[in-house]
Amino acid sequence: MAEAGCGMTGAISDIEAFRRLVLERSGLSLGADKDYLLQSRLTPLMREEGLATLEALFARLRLDPRGRLAQRAIDAMATHESYFFRDATPFDQLRDTLLPALVARRTGARRLRIWSAACSSGQEPYSLAMLLLEERRLMPDWTVEILATDMSQPILDRARRGVYSDFEASRGLSEARRSRWLRREGGDWSIAPEVRALVEFRPHNLMDGTAGMGRFDLIFCRNVLIYFEQLQKRWALARLSEALEPDGALVLGSAETVVGLDSAFEPMPGLRGAFQPHDRSERLRA
């Protein structure tokens, strides 16, 4: 296997073509200030494929821009950082405000559907499942579904495995929660079966439509749109709005907002990082 080169050897036009490929296929914005990321994130892939330079990798991508290698290169440019009950506030708001309100409105259907869009290694959907199990008394015999999606197949495989290191299992989880919802497995921690049972993992790209996915009462789409270009952000928000029930809520990451994006959403009064469709009050009156 050839040694991977460390210098930025790809010609500018190649790098621009790669930026465009990543943007079109994932929405992720790789500004020129991110060139250092190209090098560090693509080097492991180049090594695996026996490619000595970025130029060689880009040449392969040009031949097959929709192939497996291109998808792996795009995945490599994404940030997969995640942890349990990330930022705490969205989960506290869900428990204290959003969930009781939704449950009150769904007593007829006795069904809740939640989408964790861009779920990475699974901590977000599993946190949602833990919280819903903790609040189960509100909806004792309801059908509760959590769909967890990501564009990256390897990260979805990890999420589905549901096995976390000591460090990962202590990030965001109190000891009480960890011993209740995770099991010791060798030196690691494994998600308990009742938590897993609520979550279905599936590949999905936020640049694609949501046909066939049905409507959700809640969508968590956190810490991903922050990496998108404006146009792609608007596009993804429009798709999310199509998949949200008219009285549902969209929850974004703490550094993300819909404000100034001319999207279908507006902030929910009194809540942080939670958004509702613009015409919610009219739709609820109808």
Ligand X SMILES: C[S@@+](CC[C@H](N)C(=O)[O-])C[C@H]1O[C@@H](n2cnc3c(N)ncnc32)[C@H](O)[C@@H]1O
Cα 18 to Cα 38, 66, 159, 249: the distances in Å are: 10, 12, 27, 35
Residue from 152, 210, 241, 263 touching ligand X (CB under 6 A): that is 152
Q: How many CA atoms lie within 13 A of 232 on its CB side?
A: 20
Counting contacts by CB under 6 A, is residue 253 touching ligand X? yes
CB 182 within 8 Å of CB 164: yes
Sheet holding 111-117, edge to edge: 199-203, 143-150, 111-117, 216-221, 244-252, 274-277, 265-267
Q: Choose one: 63-71, 97-105, 114-122, 278-286; the region binding ligand X (CB under 6 A).
A: 114-122
Q: What's the min distance (Å) between Cβ of 54 and ligand X?
A: 21
Q: Choose one: 57-65, 81-89, 176-184, 271-279; the region binding ligand X (CB under 6 A).
A: 81-89
Q: Which of residues 162-221 bind ligand X (CB under 6 A)?
A: 205-207
Residue nearer to ligand X on the CB measure, 122 or 248: 122
Counting contacts by CB under 6 A, is residue 129 touching ligand X? no
Strands 143-150 and 199-203: parallel
CB 60 within 8 Å of CB 49: yes
Q: 3-state class of 110 per DSSP? A: coil
Q: What's the min distance (Å) between Cβ of 120 and ligand X?
A: 3
Tokens at 260, concatenated: 């100034």
Residue from 34, 41, 60, 80 touching ligand X (CB under 6 A): that is 80
Counting contacts by CB under 6 A, is residue 223 touching ligand X? yes
Counting contacts by CB under 6 A, is residue 82 touching ligand X? yes
Q: Choose one: 35-43, 96-104, 146-154, 209-217; the region binding ligand X (CB under 6 A).
A: 146-154
Residue nearer to ligand X on the CB measure, 56 or 236: 236
Residue from 99, 151, 195, 252 touching ligand X (CB under 6 A): that is 151
Counting contacts by CB under 6 A, is residue 127 touching ligand X? no
Q: Which of residues 3-32 bind ligand X (CB under 6 A)?
A: 26-28
Counting contacts by CB under 6 A, is residue 245 touching ligand X? no
Counting contacts by CB under 6 A, is residue 86 touching ligand X? yes
Supply the DSSP symbol for 218: E
Counting contacts by CB under 6 A, is residue 131 touching ligand X? no
Supply the DSSP symbol for 267: E
Residue-by-residue DSSP string for 71-98: HHHHHHTS-----TTTTSHHHHHIIIII
Q: Choose one: 79-87, 106-114, 136-144, 182-190; the region binding ligand X (CB under 6 A).
A: 79-87
- Which residue in the block uniquely carries the two structure tokens 């792609």? 232
**Taking Cα atoms as reference points, which of 7, 124, 105, 20 lies closest to residue 62?**
20
Q: Which helix (H) or strand (E) holds 265?
A: strand 265-267
Residue from 19, 178, 222, 280 touching ligand X (CB under 6 A): that is 222
Residue ranges that bind ligand X, judged by CB under 6 A? 26-28, 78-82, 86, 118-120, 124, 150-152, 155, 205-207, 222-224, 253
